[in-house]
Amino acid sequence: MLVLGIESSCDDCAAAVLADGRRILAHAIHSQFHIHQAYGGVVPELASRDHLEKIVPVLETVMAQAGLAWEQLEGIAVTRGPGLIGSLLVGLSAAKALAFSLDIPFYGVNHLEGHLLAIFLEDLAPAFPFLGLIISGGHTSLYQVNGFSEYRRLGQTRDDAAGEAFDKGAKLLGLGYPGGTAIDRMGSRGNPAAFHFPRAMASAKTLDFSFSGLKTALRHFLEQRGEPFVQEHLQDVAASYQEAVVDSLLQKLSQAISLTRIPRVVLSGGVAANSRLRARMQELADREALEVFFPSPFLCTDNAAMIAAAGTRHLQCGETSPLSLNADPNLQL
Ligand code: KG4
Ligand code: ZN
C-alpha cells in the first residue's frame, strides 16, 4: 500500500511516501527554524502562513523524489492533532483535497501515535509491550504500548515539556534557540554535579512530570549569582541544569519500569537526541538489563514518515476519516 504522509502540526512542514507502512520511499521537510529563531519560540500565526506557502512545494518534492504519479497513491495519512490549530488545518486541508480529487481514503492521525510508532520504521523494532517516552518541545508523555492502537498513558507533564525546559533554560543563559542542542553542547564540557537544581515530584508516586519549577529555579540562580559568575561557570551551569532534566525523566521511567515490570523502552521526540540522556539511559539499561530503542534523529523529531506509518496501520484495518474531519489542537491519546 502506497501512502502519502503529511505533518504540519507545529513548525515543520513535512511529507513522506511509505510502502506498506514500513519502507520510506521519500521524505521531505521544510523547517521554519529561521522564521521563529528571532522570537525565541514558535509564533503560531507565522507558522500557519509559512505552511500555506510551503505545503504544495513540499508535496511536489516528495512525490518527485519517490518517482510516483499522484494516481499511484492508495491512501493519505495526515496529522489531525494535537498541535497549533492554524498549522494543523493547512496539512489537513491539503490531505482532504488530495483524497477527494484522487478518490482515495485518508486517515487523520494522532501526532503522538506517530511518535510512538516511529521506531517501527527502523530495522530493529521492539516487541510488545514497551514503554514509550515522548519528549519534545511540546510534549512529555509516558505510555505503555501493548500493541498497535493499544496505548495506556501512564504520565505526562503537568506544565512545561522537557524540550521547553531546555529551550527556556537556554534562553535565560543566552544560548539561543532552540536551546536543547546548545545546552547539550555546552553541558558536555561541564560538571553535572557543580550546582543543584530541583527534581520536581521525585519522591511522589505519580508518573507525571513537572518542569516549570526548574526554569524558575534557574532564574533565581541567575539573579542570586549574577551575570559574571554565571558566564564564568556557564558549562557547569548548563551541565547541572541538563542533569536535573535528565534525572527527572529517568526517575519517572525507572518508576514505570518497576511498576509495570516491562523491561523495554522506546524514547522519541527531539529531546531523545540529548547525548547526556542517551548515555545515562544506556547506563540504566545495562544496570537493569533493559532493552532501549532510539529512533534515528530524523525519525525522533517531527516528520511525516511516522505519520504515514501510523496512518497506514489504520488504513490497512479499513479505518478511514470522513471529509468532515476537523483538526483538534488538544487531541488526546
Ligand atoms: O520533536 P521536536 O523536533 O519538535 C517538537 O517539539 O515537536 O523537538 C524539539 C525540541 C526542542 O525543545 C529542542 O530544544 C529539543 O527538542 N532538543 C533537544 C536536543 N535536540 C533538540 N533537547 C535536548 N538535547 C538535544 N540534543
Ligand atoms: Zn512532535
> Per the domain annotation, does 325 fall within a domain?
no
Q: What per-residue confidence (pLDDT) applies to 28? A: 96
For residue 146, the domain's CATH number is 3.30.420.40
Q: What per-residue confidence (pLDDT) applies to 319? A: 98
Q: Please tell me the residue having the least CA distance from ligand 1 atom 22.
A: 180
> Per the domain annotation, does 143 fall within a domain?
yes
Q: Are residues 150 and 276 in the same domain?
A: yes
Element housing 304 (H / E): helix 304-316
- The count of structural domains within the chain is 2
Ligand 1 pocket: which of 79, 87, 181 to mutate (most atoms <8 Å of CB)? 181
Q: Are residues 85 and 10 in the same domain?
A: yes
Q: Are residues 239 and 267 in the same domain?
A: yes
Q: Are residues 186 and 214 in the same domain?
A: yes
Q: What per-residue confidence (pLDDT) applies to 56? A: 97
Ligand 1 neighbours (beta carbon < 6 A): 10, 136-138, 163, 166-167, 178-181, 184, 269-271, 273-274, 301-302
Interhelix angle 212-225/162-172, nearest 10 degrees: 20
Nearest atom, ligand 1, residue 275 CA: 26
As a whole number of angstroms, the distance between CA 205 and CA 186 comes to: 33
Nearest atom, ligand 1, residue 137 CA: 6
Q: Are residues 265 and 130 in the same domain?
A: yes
> Per the domain annotation, does 332 fall within a domain?
no
* Adjacent-strand bridge partners of 2: 19
Nearest atom, ligand 1, residue 166 CA: 14
Q: What per-residue confidence (pLDDT) applies to 268? A: 95
Q: What per-residue confidence (pLDDT) applies to 202? A: 83
Mean pLDDT, consecutive 10-residue stretches, the chain (333 aa), reads 97 96 97 88 93 98 98 98 97 98 98 97 96 95 97 97 95 89 96 96 90 96 95 97 98 96 96 95 96 94 97 98 98 96
Single pTM value for the model: 0.94
Q: What per-residue confidence (pLDDT) applies to 52? A: 97
Residues in Cβ contact with 70 at an 8 Å cutoff, skipping those fewer than 6 apart: 63, 98, 102
Using the mean position of ligand 1's atoms as its centre, give its distance from the Cα of residue 97 in Å. Answer: 31
As a whole number of angstroms, the distance between CA 252 and CA 78 comes to: 31
> Per the domain annotation, does 286 fall within a domain?
yes
As a whole number of angstroms, the distance between CA 148 and CA 163 comes to: 26
DSSP single-letter state for residue 255: H
Strand order in the sheet with 140-147: 150-156, 140-147, 130-135, 264-268, 291-293
Which listed ligand is nearest to 184 at the C-alpha?
1
Q: Are residues 150 and 88 in the same domain?
A: no
Domain of residue 45 covers 2-116+301-316
Q: Please tell me the residue having the least CA distance from ligand 1 atom 18.
A: 180
